């Protein structure tokens, strides 16, 4: 007998059981990261994310350096979506006996390079060697000004919906990797500059797509900017695709959303069919861009670009719940979230 | 080519790479938990511990409720060994498809019962279903008065060595489970009282041994007591056996240690051969008792028992490095640590 039909059912059950209503827990299970009040100081952000071989990465496709980068980027992206500053990380790794130690070293090199660039100290963890596939659990602790964390639950009717960068590029990168598992060596090494997947002249080009997938850039500076200027009413990072993450934001806020297909960020000279591109843009995951909402009177304050990354206005929050997509012909249809649910039956 | 011969080599490499010397990191990789200075407030303790099916527990031996209890107890014990107060936990679980959801529910029930009793709020985590064995990573965040955490590195020559409770009882419990994998049902359910593995009239009895193994009690109150009274110069929890953990404490402090075999806590009417008992007491792991050192002038202040748990004085810290065991005949021999090293070749 299975007790939980979906992951959400399980999370709801757990949320009811756990001490999440305690006054020290400003946000617990169900937001991007836990927001915790320690005494007298800033609030502490804690986030845990697993990276599992065969689920989140494949040994044949992903260089170990990228696996380390992505494992940390996933958690940092959640801190970014809260407007916080990451400070510390713990790395628990159960390493497959099939992986050698140079795999482990490259993994940590990718992870530590990103950590250093973002001012994150790796302060502990746990290590084991196992006979099965490799699993990583990465925990990041950050801080944020008390009461100021950008939650998923603050969106109101009439708010504009924004997304940073080019959602779908990471999923396009994965497609390219699967078509040709051994791309040119220059894609396997993270660039040394400040920004990894930003600033490309041609979005969705093979190079941009592969970089977006292998070395996604957590939008920490953008998250801080949104918090400091008090621009965003709600925010979430795009880890499972716009359709899924916008749905999570809308549900947490008790509102609905309309997305304008014509406003979704699409490069001019894209060599993809419209339907293929739309599926990537709406449902492609692992972009780690920020999806955020802005009250209509603050819309004029939102810049077109932030540190080289374009901020795209793609739709509007509605009072009536549910998610709708308005096509180029003006016709409305339901926008269904197509994210991954570990508890859903295949 | 393997780059690391032992786990320690790997940890040393990682410690050199990670930002652990940053001023905010009061203690990072290499102590029981990371001690972190957030702004203006208490210091935050963070600890990550994995529990892997086939390594840390076996589906046939360990009831799921016990797996959940033990997963949390491992991390709480590290907070106890720092003299800290645990506050929050994150639970990442990659659940085997072979386990059903009632396994998951019992796992969390065991975990949450202990969390509630210790005032710990479970504030997040990550969940996935995998085709292989179950893996859990448990992270606890706690707090401690600034600059007061009990480190491994504070022991000095002449300090007395103490251990709480009855080390070896947990390993004895595992022996019993392996001899008879289906013990009486009363052992499979955690007791409802304040204390789980304490207060038994007959240490090392089957009941005490099984409880010590399945539902070990993290010594949080004892850790706080040692910190508040400023009694301990150094502390560590006994997770891998006295021989291994005393060696870690001595190495971190740059000292040696002498253990008196005749002072090791041994029940009067024990139905075990002397050599069998000694191996359990010295090398048996997962007791989660506290091993701590006390300056000679503070020894008179150490109580014989603390909240029903006996505190045993078992030896002395020496200036010369190395670990020695003095037998009942007065003869000295080397005390070798016999702990588990994931990177060591079998």
Q: Using CA atoms, how far apart are residues A79 and A90, in angstroms rounded to an integer?
A: 14
Cβ contact, residue pair B124, A17, below 8 Å:
no
Same domain, yes or no, for B164 and B293? yes
pLDDT for residue A1 is more than 50: no
pLDDT of residue A60: 81
pLDDT of residue A196: 45
From A144, A169, A195, give the residue that closes a domain. Answer: A144
Find the closest chain B residue to A136 by CA distance: B137
Q: Give the tens place of pLDDT for each residue, A6-27.
A: 666 666 666 665 555 555 555 5
Cβ contact, residue pair A29, B125, below 8 Å:
yes
Cβ contact, residue pair A124, B55, below 8 Å:
no
From A109, A144, A179, give the residue that closes a domain. Answer: A144
Q: Give the tens place of pLDDT for each residue, A270-316.
A: 778 888 889 999 999 999 999 999 999 999 999 999 999 999 999 99
- What 3 state SS string does chain A have? CCCCCCHHHHHHHHHHHCCCCCCCEEECECECCEEEECCCCCEEEEEEEEEEECCCECCCCCCHHHHHHHHHHHHHHHHHHCCCEEEEEEEEEEEECCCCHHHHHHHHHHHHHHHHHCCCEEEEEEEEEECCCCEEEEEEEEEECCCCCCCHHHCCCCCEEEEECCCCHHHHHHHHHHHCCCCCHHHCCCCCCCCCCCCCCCCCCHHHHHHHHHCCCCCHHHHHHHHHCCCCCEEEEECCCHHHHHHHHHHHHCCEEEEEHHHCCCCCCCCCCHHHHHHHHHHCCCCCEEEEEECHHHHHHCCCEECCEEEEEEEEEECCCEEEEECCCCCEEECCCCCCCCCCCC
The model's confidence at residue A42, banded by pLDDT at 50, 70 and 90, is confident
Q: Using CA atoms, how far apart are residues B130 and A13, in angstroms rounded to an integer?
A: 21
- Judged by average pLDDT, the poorest of A36-45, B98-107, B263-272 is A36-45
What CATH number has the domain bearing residue A208? 3.90.650.10
Report ipTM (2 d.p.).
0.83
The model's confidence at residue B116, banded by pLDDT at 50, 70 and 90, is confident
The residue that leads in pLDDT, A184 or A241, is A241
Q: Give the tens place of pLDDT for each residue, A90-113.
A: 889 898 988 887 888 889 889 989
The model's confidence at residue B271, banded by pLDDT at 50, 70 and 90, is confident
Q: How far is CA B141 from CA A208, A217, A218, A269, B79, in A?
A: 38, 27, 24, 49, 8
Residue A339 covered by a domain: no
pLDDT of residue A193: 45
pLDDT for residue B75 is more than 80: yes
Residue A31 covered by a domain: yes
pLDDT of residue A13: 65
CB A286 within 8 A of CB A66: no
Same domain, yes or no, for B299 and B170? yes
Same domain, yes or no, for A254 and A216? yes
The residue that leads in pLDDT, B33 or A284, is A284
Tokens 């003095």 -> residue: B326
| Segment of A185-189, A291-295, B280-284 carrying the highest mean pLDDT | A291-295
Measured in angstroms, the CA of A101 and the nearest CA of chain B are apart by 5
Average pLDDT in chain B: 84
Residue B342 covered by a domain: no
Find residues 66-125 of chain B whose CB sits inside 8 Å of chain A.
Answer: 87-88, 90-92, 94, 100-102, 104-105, 108, 112, 115-116, 120-125
Residue A211 covered by a domain: yes
- Residue B216, both tokens: 């070990």
Average pLDDT in chain A: 84
pLDDT of residue B346: 39
Residue A213 covered by a domain: yes
How many inter-chain contacts (A to B, CB under 8 Å) are there?
A: 236
Same domain, yes or no, for A50 and A189? no
Same domain, yes or no, for B123 and B161? no
CB A238 within 8 A of CB A288: yes
Mean pLDDT of B149-166: 94
Q: Using CA atoms, how far apart are residues A167 and A189, in angstroms rounded to an integer?
A: 22
Q: Which helix or strand (DSSP H or E) is residue B140 part of?
A: strand B135-144
Q: Phi/psi of residue A204, each to 5°?
A: 70, 5
pLDDT of residue A228: 96
What CATH number has the domain bearing residue A120? 3.30.1330.10
Same domain, yes or no, for B131 and B165? no
Find the closest chain A residue to B26 by CA distance: A123
Same domain, yes or no, for A168 and A307? yes
Q: What residues pair up with A86 in beta bridges, in sequence order? A: A142
Same domain, yes or no, for B102 and B156? no
- Judged by average pLDDT, the poorest of A97-101, A228-232, A242-246, B193-197 is B193-197
Q: Using CA atoms, how far apart are residues A292 and A230, in angstroms rounded to an integer?
A: 12
As for how many domains chain A has, the answer is 2
Residue B104 lies in domain:
7-144
Find residues 243-262 of chain A whose CB sits inside 8 Å of chain B.
Answer: none
Radius of gyration for the alpha carbons in chain B, expressed in angstroms and rounded: 19
Find residues 6-25 of chain B whose CB sits inside 8 Å of chain A.
Answer: 7, 10-11, 13-14, 17-20, 22, 24-25
- Residue B333, both tokens: 């021999």
Cβ contact, residue pair B123, A54, below 8 Å:
no
pLDDT for residue A185 is more than 80: no
Helix (H, G, I), strand (E, B) or coil at B75: helix
The residue that leads in pLDDT, A84 or B37, is A84
Q: Is B143 on the interface with A (CB under 8 A)?
A: yes
Q: Is B1 on the interface with A (CB under 8 A)?
A: yes
- Judged by average pLDDT, the poorest of A171-185, A279-293, B279-293 is A171-185
pLDDT for residue B37 is more than 80: no
Q: Which of B18, B79, B82, B140 to mutate to probe the A interface, most A CBs <10 Å?
A: B18
Residue A345 covered by a domain: no
pLDDT for residue A74 is more than 80: yes
Q: What residues pair up with B305 in beta bridges, in sequence order? A: B310
Same domain, yes or no, for A127 and A230? no
Q: Which helix or strand (DSSP H or E) is residue B121 part of?
A: strand B121-130
pLDDT for residue B74 is more than 90: yes
Q: Using CA atoms, how far apart are residues B72 and B95, in angstroms rounded to an integer?
A: 16
pLDDT for residue B345 is more than 50: no
Cβ contact, residue pair B130, A125, below 8 Å:
no
Same domain, yes or no, for A94 and A186? no
Selecting from B20, B41, B132 the residue whose C-beta is nearest the C-beta of A40 gives B41
Q: Using CA atoms, how far apart are residues B17 and A108, in angstroms rounded to an integer?
A: 9
Tokens 């290499």 -> residue: B30
Q: Which residues of A touch B25 (CB under 8 A)?
A: 88, 121, 123
From A144, A162, A185, give the residue that closes a domain. Answer: A144
pLDDT of residue B64: 93
Helix axes A64-81, A101-117, angle to 10 degrees: 30
Q: Which residues of B touch A129 (CB under 8 A)?
A: 342-343
Q: Which residues of A touch B135 (CB under 8 A)?
A: 94, 130, 135
pLDDT of residue A339: 62
Selecting from A3, A102, A126 the residue whose C-beta is nearest the C-beta of B50 gives A126
Q: Which residues contact B56 (CB under 8 A, 6 or more apart)?
A: B50, B70
Q: Which residues of B touch A24 (CB under 8 A)?
A: 87, 121
Same domain, yes or no, for A58 and A133? yes
- Report the half-sphere exposure of A241 (CA within 13 A, side-chain side): 20
Residue A343 covered by a domain: no
Q: Which residues contact A345 (CB under 8 A, 6 or more apart)?
A: none
Q: Which residues of A touch B14 (CB under 8 A)?
A: 108, 122
Residue A342 covered by a domain: no
The 10 Å CB-count burial string (b at 16+, else e) for A228-262 is: eeebbbbbbbbbbbbbbbbbbbbbbbebbbbbbbe
Same domain, yes or no, for B301 and B265? yes
The model's confidence at residue B1, banded by pLDDT at 50, 70 and 90, is very low
- Judged by average pLDDT, the poorest of A124-133, A292-301, B183-192, B318-327 is B183-192
Find residues 28-47 of chain A whose CB sits inside 8 Å of chain B.
Answer: 28-29, 33-34, 36, 38-42, 44, 46-47
Q: Which of B99, B123, B146, B339 to mutate to probe the A interface, most A CBs <10 Å?
A: B123
| Of A112, A144, A139, A181, the residue nearest A36 (C-alpha) | A144
pLDDT of residue A105: 84
């Amino acid at each position: 007998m299975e007790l939980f039909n979906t992951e959400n059912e399980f999370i709801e059950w757990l949320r009811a059981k756990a001490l999440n209503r305690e006054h020290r827990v400003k946000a617990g299970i169900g937001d991007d990261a836990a927001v915790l009040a320690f005494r007298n100081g800033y609030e502490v952000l804690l986030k845990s994310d697993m990276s599992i071989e065969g689920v989140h990465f494949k040994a044949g496709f992903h260089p170990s350096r990228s696996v380390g980068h992505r494992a940390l980027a996933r958690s940092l992206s959640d801190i970014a979506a809260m407007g916080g500053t990451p400070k510390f990380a713990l790395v628990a790794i159960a390493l497959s006996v099939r992986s050698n130690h140079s795999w482990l070293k490259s993994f940590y090199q990718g992870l530590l390079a990103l950590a250093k660039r973002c001012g994150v100290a790796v302060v502990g963890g746990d290590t084991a060697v196992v006979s099965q596939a490799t699993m990583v659990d990465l925990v990041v602790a950050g801080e944020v000004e008390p009461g100021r964390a950008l939650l998923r639950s603050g969106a109101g009717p009439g708010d504009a919906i924004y997304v940073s960068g080019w959602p779908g590029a990471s999923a396009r990168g994965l497609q390219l990797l699967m078509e040709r598992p051994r791309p040119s060596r220059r894609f396997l090494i993270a660039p040394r500059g400040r920004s990894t997947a930003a600033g490309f002249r041609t979005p969705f080009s093979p190079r941009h797509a592969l970089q977006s997938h292998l070395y996604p850039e957590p939008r920490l500076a953008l998250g801080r900017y949104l918090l400091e200027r008090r621009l965003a009413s709600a925010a979430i990072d795009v880890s499972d695709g716009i359709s899924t993450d916008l749905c999570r934001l809308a549900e947490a806020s008790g509102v609905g959303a309309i997305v304008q297909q014509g406003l979704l960020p699409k490069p001019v000279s894209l060599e993809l069919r419209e339907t293929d591109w739309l599926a990537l843009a709406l449902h492609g995951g692992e972009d780690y861009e920020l999806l955020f909402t802005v009250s209509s009177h603050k819309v004029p304050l939102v810049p077109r670009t932030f540190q080289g990354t374009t901020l795209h206005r793609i739709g509007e929050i509605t009072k009536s719940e549910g998610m709708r997509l308005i096509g180029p012909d003006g016709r409305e249809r339901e926008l269904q979230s197509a994210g991954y649910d570990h508890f859903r039956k295949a």
